[in-house]
Structure 1
Amino acid sequence: MSLTNKQKQFLKAKAHELKPVILLGGNGLTEGVVAEIEVALNFHELIKVKVPTEDREQKVLIMDAIIRETKAEKVQVIGKTLVLFRQGEDKKIALPRK
């Protein structure tokens, strides 16, 4: 599933008020963290993940790995915060048409 620009704008507006649900710790991206992101995506569909690292390249690698492992759509990245969306079976968030 690929998001259109209109759908991304809609999700960005919805994500604006959200606080990060997942905060990566000193151990980085572990299997446990990926599992927690999966649970949060299944429950909320739209989440923020905070990746507190000063190394820009490492941050990009971690964010790419999160997207790849969870099969979620990247809505946007603001600084150290990644906004992810993955629609569940019950479709809690109704996306606008393309």
Structure 2
Amino acid sequence: MLTNKQKRFLRSESHAIQPIFQVGKGGVNENMLVQLNEALEARELIKVSVLQNCMEDKDAVAEEVVNATHAYLVQVIGNIIILYKPSKEKSKIVLPRT
């Protein structure tokens, strides 16, 4: 579980990155989840954009992605979901202590 201080740190780190995934009309599928896991392993911190034509609620999409990838939900702001998952091999982001 992330503390509020860690979430603030991750939010500030995420300002510079662009969304690399888009959830649209088809919603979240298995292929997308595999790619999300690979991206999280490589980058640790990613943004996912929920398009307006997505049939599901953005909070439901965020919950589904978090449950499937075992990532931490940093924030849902507007139609952007920010996810964090520490890398198993090479951790690049050092979280502040509590």
- TM-score (normalised: structure 1): 0.90
Q: 2:91 corresponds to which letter in structure 1? A: K
User: Which SS does the other structure have where 1:48 is aligned?
Assistant: strand
Cα offsets for 1:11-53 (capped at 9, x unmatched): 0000011100111232110101111111110000000001113
Say whether 1:11 aligns with 2:17: no
Q: Percent identity?
A: 37
| 2:59 alignment partner AA | V
Change in CA separation of 1:27 and 1:57 when aligned onto 2, cut-off 3 Å: closer
Computed over aligned residues only, the root mean square deviation of the Cα atoms, in angstroms, reads: 1.7
Partner Cα separation in structure 2 for residue 55 and residue 9 of structure 1: 28
Between stretches 51-60 and 40-49, larger displacement belongs to 51-60
Is the CA contact 2:28–2:61 (under 8 Å) kept in the aligned structure 1?
yes
Q: Does the 8 Å CA contact 1:15/1:47 hold for their aligned counterparts? A: yes
Provide the residue aligned with 2:95 in structure 1.
95
Deviations 1:59-79 (A, max 9, x none): 221111001000000101111
Q: In the TM superposition, what are the counterparts of 1:47-66 in structure 2 within 5 Å?
A: 47-53=46-52, 58-66=57-65
- Whether the aligned pair in 1 keeps the contact of 2:45 and 2:82 (CA below 8 Å) is yes
TM-score, structure 2 normalization: 0.90
Deviation at 1:94, TM superposition (A): 0.6
* Counterparts of 2:55 and 2:2, CA distance in 1: 25
User: Unaligned stretches of 5+ in structure 1?
Assistant: none
Matching of residues 39-78 of structure 1 within 5 Å: 39-53=38-52, 58-78=57-77
Matched pairs, number? 97
CA 1:4–1:72: 2 relative to 1, 3 Å? same
